[in-house]
């Protein structure tokens, strides 16, 4: 009786193991969460203070485009990247989520296609279902650090219904940061086939020194085809604030997004006030954050590399890694960790990577790990993971 | 190059006169806004205090279903209406806007139809475009207070693609409150044709003593087909907080909505904390608010009835009325008010009603007025409106 499109839509694969984690906790097992990208870093004080000092007497509708003071603060922030983004080049959205939904709607009609590199952020599937478009996967591989495949492989997937290529760097779920030359290739492909480029850059600051960051906004020549999706969630450890934005220098795109923005009236006001304070902070804030995450990444990477049969290249960004394990079925393994295993009454929760692929069967021996725990906890969690693989019965 | 669906989508007809208002203000003209439903009532102190006292150190992701403390507070609120809504019967949304979008998606597939009584809240069009469904209008008329037409007239519009009937009472834009017998008729029609009922009840408390309020939630027998859409925006004068919810006792519907809710992760957290305080307030809060709006409604209604050629029945709820004026083209009139008219350097901004109809040509001699100004200002604004009609050249 409900619509087919909703009936056929998958439940979030990241969240579907939650009941098993809850049961483990009820049995008195401590569960370390490596499964979700919820940072444990405190939200910066200026953001929290802005909320405490919220002084409007009426929480009234704001501008559909978002408040000017926030757009100005974001515009200033981009100067750190030598990128000129004016307050009029962007529309504030309710989280990066809404920015993605708007981007999909504005570039594609029903049954149109968007190229995406798998494994990819699973919620793209939700937005694709909501806007009735098709995501066409180009597979990237653990063996070469999930780097962008050859131009030929990408072009094989382009049809006359293809409207855009979606790129996420630093990448969720793989942690891969694409080098400039690979992004250049994507720009060339987009030019050749007249496609939009949707660039999800929410992990922009999460890079750890091994590679220079390149934004799609750095390609001046491609400015009419680049649509940048961004969010404060990870950058300022404010996932629950639901503030993001969409940037485009293409006026048709921005006017189109504006229609969608007007239909939902405005993004939340209190959080816009808070977000502006985040963007007004000095860039030195990220130094400490990067140091902390780099330390965690190194712990996780080194622990994993010490396990027999693990396939993994050093991920240079975000706070995730996708790891190939010597297990037959990572979904079974993830559930077994919660239902049957414990090490001194502790276990870990991981995200089976199958849900990050749309090609059936792929990722069935991979998991995604998020390094969002502080050093001591992370070390304990990694030790538990290691111990679990020593006794897990369904090995390859 | 952008998608057809967005290219073909109308810009918000309520907001498109804004540039003319801005120009009038630049010329030194004071503009009274009767065009938008932005209440001037202060957001209640407990809501503002909850924001000031927000004490989480990490603004983390919340539950996709919404925080339990808020769902419990909403559940308790419904006891005032003798309606049992459990915290598990609802999903918190980012404004009533998202609730409407979710409702459309879950009941209808591409090109499916939803019956709606015109004139109707224009943003329904935006959500329909976003979810690629069709709104099929059944016209209501100023002459009989925009009441629900005959069952025959409604059934004429039902096709094999019809999935739901959308009802909004108290109504935006007309202010009409549907009596129980009319809602009963809609329930009967929905049962006969196996349709969902989407009930937009965001103005539930805005009734002024002439009629008893009936919610679609009062119809126990229809509970599997009723999907209620609600919001704190008007109820607690917190439009910018973007907190709403969707209620359904039909588990398939709620599970379906949950998939959409998971894709966008969670509604804003700070505002959920604040909204819970609103719902914990005593119902006596509404007494004062109702008294204030009733006074305003009576001022507006009486002033309008004293103008020759005006067609209008007493609207018993919300804070809008749709008025038939003795003008040839209300869009021209609305623009003329801003561009050419002033009375002692003051003018009014009104919403031409054409945008609230989807049948072409209808509403071209009607405007929507919102009584969201306090008594003194409202009296001045109504006097200006009266004076303007004395000199407006394009009369019928």
How much is the ipTM here?
A: 0.92
Please judge whether A52 and B48 are an interchain contact, meaning their C-beta atoms are less than 8 angstroms apart: no
Give the DSSP H/E element, type plus range, for residue B3. none
Instruction: Name residues 10-29 of chain B within 8 A of A (Cβ).
Output: 10-12, 15
Average pLDDT over residues A19-34: 95
Question: Which strands form A351-352's sheet, in the order they lie side by side?
Answer: A320-324, A366-370, A351-352
Q: What is the DSSP letter of B217?
A: G
Find the CB nearest A6 among B57, B98, B256: B256
Chain B residue numbers touching A33 (CB-CB < 8 A):
none
Nearest residue of chain A to residue B265 (CA atoms): A97
According to the model, what pLDDT value does residue B59 have?
A: 95
Nearest Cα of chain A lies from the Cα of B177 at a distance, in angstroms, of: 24
A342 touches A297 (CB < 8 A): no
According to the model, what pLDDT value does residue B78 have?
A: 97
Backbone angles phi, psi at A322, to 5 degrees: -105, 125
Chain segment B85-142, per-residue pLDDT in tens: 999 999 999 999 999 999 999 999 999 999 999 999 999 998 998 888 999 999 999 9
Average pLDDT over residues A109-113: 95
Residue A14 pLDDT more than 80? Answer: no
According to the model, what pLDDT value does residue B326 have?
A: 96
Locate tokens 């109707």: which residue? B120
Residue A13 pLDDT more than 90? Answer: no
Q: Does B267 touch chain A (CB under 8 A)?
A: yes
Distance CA A246, CA A85 (A): 11
Domains and CATH numbers, chain A: 4-42+285-391 (3.90.1150.10), 45-280 (3.40.640.10)
Average pLDDT over residues A61-88: 96
Nearest Cα of chain A lies from the Cα of B258 at a distance, in angstroms, of: 8
Please judge whether A242 and B4 are an interchain contact, meaning their C-beta atoms are less than 8 angstroms apart: no
Please judge whether B97 and A40 are an interchain contact, meaning their C-beta atoms are less than 8 angstroms apart: no
Q: Does B111 touch chain A (CB under 8 A)?
A: no
CA atoms within 13 A on the CB side of A167: 33
pTM listed for this prediction? 0.94
Distance CA B135, CA B257 (A): 20
Please judge whether B238 and A59 are an interchain contact, meaning their C-beta atoms are less than 8 angstroms apart: yes
Find the CB nearest B58 among A108, A237, A266: A237
Cα A145 to Cα A21, A141, A181, A306, A315, distances in angstroms: 30, 6, 16, 17, 7
Chain B residue numbers touching A97 (CB-CB < 8 A):
263-265
Backbone angles phi, psi at A231, to 5 degrees: -160, 150
Beta strand ranges found along chain B (DSSP E): 30-33, 90-93, 113-118, 134-139, 162-168, 196-200, 226-231, 244-248, 320-324, 346-349, 351-352, 366-370
Question: Which strands form B134-139's sheet, in the order they lie side by side?
Answer: B90-93, B244-248, B226-231, B196-200, B162-168, B113-118, B134-139
Q: What percent of chain A has pLDDT over 70?
A: 100
Q: Which of B164, B270, B271 to mutate to test the interface with A (most CBs of A within 10 A)?
A: B270
Instruction: Name residues 161-180 of chain B within 8 A of A (Cβ).
Output: 163
Q: Which of B300, B88, B123, B283 is nearest to B200 (CA)?
A: B123
Q: Which of A263, A277, A355 to mutate to test the interface with B (most CBs of B within 10 A)?
A: A263
Q: Give residues with Cβ within 8 angstroms of B123, minimum separation 6.
A: A262, A263, A264, A265, B12, B97, B100
A77 touches A271 (CB < 8 A): no
Residue A16 pLDDT more than 80? Answer: no
Lowest mean pLDDT among A37-41, A201-205, A341-345, B215-219: A37-41
Residue A291 pLDDT more than 80? Answer: yes
According to the model, what pLDDT value does residue A214 have?
A: 97
According to the model, what pLDDT value does residue A250 have?
A: 97
Distance CA B337, CA B333 (A): 6
Q: Which two tokens stand for residue A306?
A: 């010490």
According to the model, what pLDDT value does residue A39 have?
A: 85
Q: Give residues with Cβ within 8 angstroms of B364, minimum separation 6.
A: B328, B329, B330, B331, B352, B353, B354
Q: Does B237 touch chain A (CB under 8 A)?
A: yes
Chain segment A193-216, per-residue pLDDT in tens: 999 999 999 999 999 999 999 999
Cα B99 to Cα A30, A122, B103, B299, distances in angstroms: 36, 22, 6, 33
Residue A330 pLDDT more than 80? Answer: yes
Low-confidence ranges of chain B (pLDDT < 50): none
Q: Which of A206, A152, A213, A127 is nearest to A174 (CA)?
A: A206
Residue A74 pLDDT more than 90? Answer: yes
A11 touches B259 (CB < 8 A): yes
């Amino acid at each position: 009786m409900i619509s087919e499109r909703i009936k056929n839509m998958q439940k979030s694969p990241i969240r579907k193991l939650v009941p098993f984690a809850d049961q483990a906790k009820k049995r008195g097992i401590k569960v370390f969460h490596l499964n979700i990208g919820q940072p444990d870093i405190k939200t910066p004080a200026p953001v929290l203070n802005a909320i405490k000092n919220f002084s409007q007497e009426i929480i009234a509708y704001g501008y559909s485009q978002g408040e000017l003071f926030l757009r100005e603060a974001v515009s200033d922030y981009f100067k750190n990247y030598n990128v000129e983004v004016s307050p009029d080049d962007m529309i504030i959205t309710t989280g990066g989520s809404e920015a993605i939904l708007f981007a999909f709607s504005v570039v594609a009609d029903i049954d149109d296609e968007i190229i995406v590199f798998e494994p990819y952020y699973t919620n793209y599937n939700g937005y694709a279902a909501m806007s009735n478009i098709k995501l066409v996967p180009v597979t990237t591989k653990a063996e070469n650090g999930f780097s962008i495949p050859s131009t030929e492989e990408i072009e094989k997937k382009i049809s006359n219904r293809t409207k855009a290529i979606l790129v996420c760097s630093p990448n969720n779920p793989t942690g891969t940061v694409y080098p400039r030359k690979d992004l250049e290739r994507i720009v060339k492909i987009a030019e050749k086939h007249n496609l939009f480029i949707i660039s999800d850059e929410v992990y922009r600051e999460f890079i750890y020194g091994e590679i220079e960051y390149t934004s799609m906004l750095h390609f001046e020549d491609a400015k009419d085809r680049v649509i940048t999706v961004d969010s404060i969630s990870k950058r300022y450890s404010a996932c629950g604030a639901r503030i993001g934005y969409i940037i485009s220098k293409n006026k048709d795109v921005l006017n189109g997004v504006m229609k969608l923005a007007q239909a939902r009236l405005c993004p939340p006001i209190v959080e816009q006030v808070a977000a502006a304070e985040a963007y007004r902070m000095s860039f030195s804030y990220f130094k400490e954050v990067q140091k902390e995450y780099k330390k965690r990444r190194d712990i996780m990477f080194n622990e994993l590399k010490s396990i027999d049969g693990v396939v993994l290249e050093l991920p240079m960004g975000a706070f995730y890694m996708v790891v190939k394990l010597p297990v037959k079925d990572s979904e079974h393994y993830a559930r077994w960790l919660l239902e049957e295993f414990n090490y001194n009454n502790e276990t870990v929760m991981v995200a089976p990577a199958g849900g990050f692929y749309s090609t059936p069967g792929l990722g069935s021996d991979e998991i995604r790990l998020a390094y969002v725990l502080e050093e001591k906890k992370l070390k304990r969690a990694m030790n538990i993971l290691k111990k679990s693989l020593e006794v897990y019965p369904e090995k390859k």
